[in-house]
Amino acid sequence: MTEFDVEQVRQDFPILQQQVNGHPLVYLDNAATTQKPESVIQAIVDYYRNDNSNVHRGAHTLSDRATEKFEGARTKVAEFINAPSSAQVLWTRGTTESINMVAATWGRQNLQAGDRVLVSALEHHSNIVPWQMIAGAVGATVEPIPVDASGTLDLSAFRQMLDARVKMVSVQHVSNALGTIHPIDDMIAMAHAVGAKVMIDGAQAISHWPVDVQALDCDFYAFSAHKLFGPTGLGVLYGKRELLEAMPPYQGGGEMIETVSFTGTTYNQLPYKFEAGTPDIAGAIGLGAAIDYLSQLDRRGAAAHEQALLKYAEDKARQTEGVKLIGTSPYKTSVMSFVLEGAHPADLGMIMDQQGVAVRTGNHCAQPIMDQFGIPGTVRASFSFYNTFDDVDRLFAALEKAKQFLQ
């Protein structure tokens, strides 16, 4: 596959070929989780059918094969994000655990009373609560970087907030609630200028364009496999080597140790120091297959297609009576959040589902920004490269039918 072709791509995703409630499925919930190509599904099946064994510990062929595929997936991830070494790629259960790991290890080791952690007002709860937990334990504070009425981060306000007491800036690369792309290149440089470290939640960015952690110069970058066309239950945490080396382990158990005795324990080298217990072997192999799949795509063409879908959808929304877009930043990826006058988002979602259109409704685990807009939540339609302009038309046809019921 050398050229982007949405109809050809759709054939790779078996779930898209079904009907829901008597209608062809229109899947517009990609910000929550992406669908899986057949090659990913098959890679997981093949592992369980042919190679099922624990990794690193067995002296037999199945373990050798499983270990080779498991560590091969780690190497693929390192190359995918341009990490200097696969040892700096840690397996976690997802972006949420990755952020919790940094907060609980780096944060406990480095944050003190009076220190400040900056997050944006747009953040997912998983990039707020872990920092609040550690800040409360040590006497630090967690402060929001303002966002304007369009959902764009206020870079000038961020600049003014920075001082020597700021020890960590933790922000999304892309907002899951509104699709806003944060100016993280500038933010990372500005934070480093005052000695702060930077954690990037890349869960919503990683599927849309190439990420180069060395070019960004971020200290930590996290994402989830299931938002990158891979399986659920697996995440990635990248960190700069000197930071990971200095951080204490997150959990104790097998694999993360070098020696154990009742007089003391020494820990394993990177990345295993942070990987206690049997890992999600099948998940890692599935993520490796997802990266292989993406490597065949024209990712620039796919991204352009997603942006065209977003523009088409937002233009239709502006022409639809009663619809108000929430999040109108000029810097957006393919997420459209909106409300309909006189209708609760949950009711809209249920009626659209009856017509085979899958969207997300609610506060999207981003209550602070919903409070800022004075709304309980939105309807969120999020697009991937396998969506079509017909999907957008079906979305708005379902919306018109919902309006007949609700208004």
Which residues are catalytic, by number?
A: 365
* Cα maximum dimension of the chain: 73
Closest CA to 209 of 98, 334, 308, 28: 334
Q: How many CB atoms lie within 10 A of CB 36?
A: 25
What does the alpha-carbon distance between residue 328 and residue 150 come to, in Å, rounded to a whole number?
A: 5
DSSP assigned state of 24? E
State the DSSP H helix or E strand holding residue 357, giving kind and residue range, or none if neither.
Answer: strand 357-358
Phi-psi region of 82 (alpha: psi -120 to 50; beta: other; left: phi over 0): left
Cα 371 to Cα 393: distance, rounded to the nearest angstrom: 30
Q: How many CB atoms lie within 10 A of CB 336?
A: 28
Pairwise CA distance, residues 177 & 336, whole Å: 9
Query: In Å, how far from its chain's centre is CA 307?
Result: 18
